[in-house]
Each structure stands twice: as structure tokens, then as C-alpha cells.
Amino acid sequence: MTTTYTLILAASAFFFAYAGTALLVWGLPHLSVVDTPNERSNHTAPTPRGGGLGVIIPAIGFMAVEGAHAGIIVGGLVLLFVSFLDDRASLSASLRLGIQAMVVAFALTYFHYGLVFQGLLPWWADRIAVGIVWLWFINLYNFMDGIDEITSVETGSIVVGLIFLVISEAGIKNFLAVDGAVLGGAILAFWLFNRHPARIFLGDAGSVPLGFLVGFLLLALAAQGYWIPALILPAYYISDATYTLLRRLVAGKKIWEAHSEHAYQCAVRMGRRHDDVARHVLALNMLLVTLAVVSLLGGLAGWLSLAGAYVLSTMLMVYFGQPVKALPSLSHA
């Protein structure tokens, strides 16, 4: 597939996502799909949520044009519909998880890119393990969408990484770059409305299907033998979400309940601006993209790149936990 055609698909996704999101900024308040601040919130003004409609529909539409299989198209649309219902009137955690599990199981029937665990497990065990990982990644994405810009930045960074990997390594299937470019075009359009202070939030209608789509691209990359870069690109989201989950489990808290305990959320609560936190995540992610490309060298370079990705992610989490130093006041002579 030509570069020109890929750019046309990405630009088209951007245009329709921009128009759709602009319409949602106006329309969602009339449907009462608004996120009202509470004690767990990191925003102070009522803001429309459900903006994922404007991202996911164009993204899936143009991924279908590119040739995405039915598992991705149908699965993404089902998750979009159910998650938008959840944005309007909260559904039970068990119902959401059950539907997500069925969607993943359906999508796996179309997953023909190889064994993700590279033959370490028999075929049936590989598929079960992949289903669990995919389901976890969907919810990880949802958990981490807690401040302005962050999921737009994370998604954009991962798709940039996929594009560079395809350019750097002839063995990686081209559709990862094409689908990534389409998803990147749509999320870039949404980011223009989600910049701090955000005019609209993704809501579950955005973060859940995005986790499904991004998870698919990363699993397809891993199934082709490139599991190290597939683990490197989302390293910050994996680190923050996993550490916070384990900490809440140890504390005896309900892990499915909404909270504001992720490292990036703590940074905002201690005085950092949403866009400042997002810029730090973006800077880290550009290092992760570099490490993912370096890991293609294989051998020791691959293992060092993987270790470096999670060391850097942990360092950023620690940094986010530090109090913000107040600027010294200027005295007037």
C-alpha cells in the first residue's frame, strides 16, 4: 500500500473525527452526557464526555476501508455502543467485563498473525493467555484516561512508534503502519478539543474501544515475533496502571471502582497542570519509541531496551510523586 494512500486515509480520519468531535461538543450536553466534578475528579467544570464517538467511528470506518477484519470492526463498534451507554447511565462492572470478554473472544477467531507467546505455550493456551492480556489492556486504557490530553498523547505516541517500526524493519506487516496512521489521524483531531482545559472527554466510549484497537495492533506486532517493542511502546501506561492496581489490592480496595490514585493523577493533585503532565508523558514516550526501534537489533540490545523502558517509566512515576516546588516570590525594593 502506497504512502500517498496511507496519508489520504489518515487525513480523512482526521477530517471526519474533527467534524464529529465538534458536533459532539455541542450535542452531548443536550443529551445530558456530562462529567460533573466530584471528589475524585481532576477537573473543576462540567465537561461533555462520550467524545470517543467522534474518534472511534471514523477510525474504524477507515480501518475497514484499509481492509481490517470483521473481528476488529464489529468488536470495536460493540464496545463503542456499550461504553457510550455506560457514559450515559453507569452499567455494572460485571456486565461491562462480560461483554468485553465476548468481544475479545470473537475478535480472536480472526487473529491469524501467529502465536503471541512464540510457541512457549500450546495453541489453545496461547489464545487464552492472549485473551486475558487483551482484556487487561482494554481496562488498563480505561483506567489511565484520567486527565486532559493523556490518552490522546499515549495513543498518538504508540502509533508513531508502530510507523517507525514498520519503516525500520521489513519483516513487520505494513498494515500496522496504515491502521496506526488512521488511528493517529483520528486521535490528533480529538486532541485539538481535549487540550487542557479540555472541552470534551473521551469517556468510556473512547478509552475502552481505543484500548481494544491499540491492544490489537500491539498483539499483532508481538505475534510476528516483535514482542519486545510491543512491550516497550506502552511501558508507561502498563507501569502506572499495574503498580496502582497492585497497591490498591494490597490495601484491600475494590480495584474496579473509580479512583484518582495513578501517579499522573497524583501529580495533578499536587499542583501540576494537566498539559505539563501530558508533556512529560510525551517526552518519555518519544524515548520509548527510540528504544523500541533500537530493540530491533535483537540480542542484548533488545533486553537492555526493554529494561530501560520500564526503568524510565518508573522514574517518571517517582517524579510525578514529588511535590511541586513553589516559585519564590519577587520582593519589591
Contact 267, 148 (CB under 8 A): no
Confidence of residue 37 (pLDDT cuts 50, 70, 90): low
Q: Please report which residue ranges of the chain form alpha helices under DSSP H.
A: 3-27, 52-66, 70-88, 93-108, 123-144, 150-168, 175-194, 204-223, 227-232, 235-250, 263-269, 274-294, 299-320
Residues 184/160, Cβ–Cβ less than 8 Å: yes
DSSP, collapsed to helix, strand or coil, labels residue 325 as coil
Buried b vs exposed e over 18-48: b needs ≥16 C-beta within 10 Å?
bebbbebbeebeeeebbbeeeeeebbeeebb
| Cβ contact 289:167 at 8 Å | no
Polymer length in residues for the chain: 333
Decide if pLDDT at 312 tops 50.
yes
Is residue 152 over pLDDT 80? yes
**Averaged pLDDT, 253-264:** 80
pLDDT of residue 2: 78
Q: What is the pLDDT of residue 212?
A: 98
Per residue in 135-147, pLDDT (tens digit) is 999 999 999 998 9
**What's residue 32's pLDDT?**
78
Spatial neighbors of 267 by CB under 8 A, at least 6 apart, are: 277, 320, 321
**Cell 488498563 maps to which residue?**
140
Res. 89 pLDDT band, cuts 50 70 90: confident
- Set of cell numbers at residue 303: 533486553
User: Does the pLDDT at position 39 exceed 60?
Assistant: no
**Domain boundaries along the sequence of the chain:** 3-227
Q: Identify the three-state secondary structure at position 201.
A: strand
Q: Distance between CA atoms of 11 and 184, rounded to whole angstroms?
A: 10
Residue 322 has a pLDDT of 87
Give the amino acid at 231.
Answer: L
Judge whether residue 42 has pLDDT over 60. Answer: no
Q: Could you tell me what percent of the chain has a pLDDT over 70?
A: 94
Residue 247: the pLDDT is 87
pLDDT of residue 333: 33
pLDDT of 330 reads 36
Of 13-22, 82-91, 131-140, 155-164, minimum mean pLDDT range: 82-91
Q: In this model, does residue 215 exceed pLDDT 90? A: yes
pLDDT score at 276:
95
- Is residue 90 over pLDDT 90? no
The pTM score is 0.92
Give residues with Cβ within 8 angstroms of 136, minimum separation 6. Answer: none
Q: What percent of the chain has pLDDT over 90?
A: 79
More confident residue, 291 or 330: 291
Task: Check pLDDT > 90 for residue 307.
Answer: yes
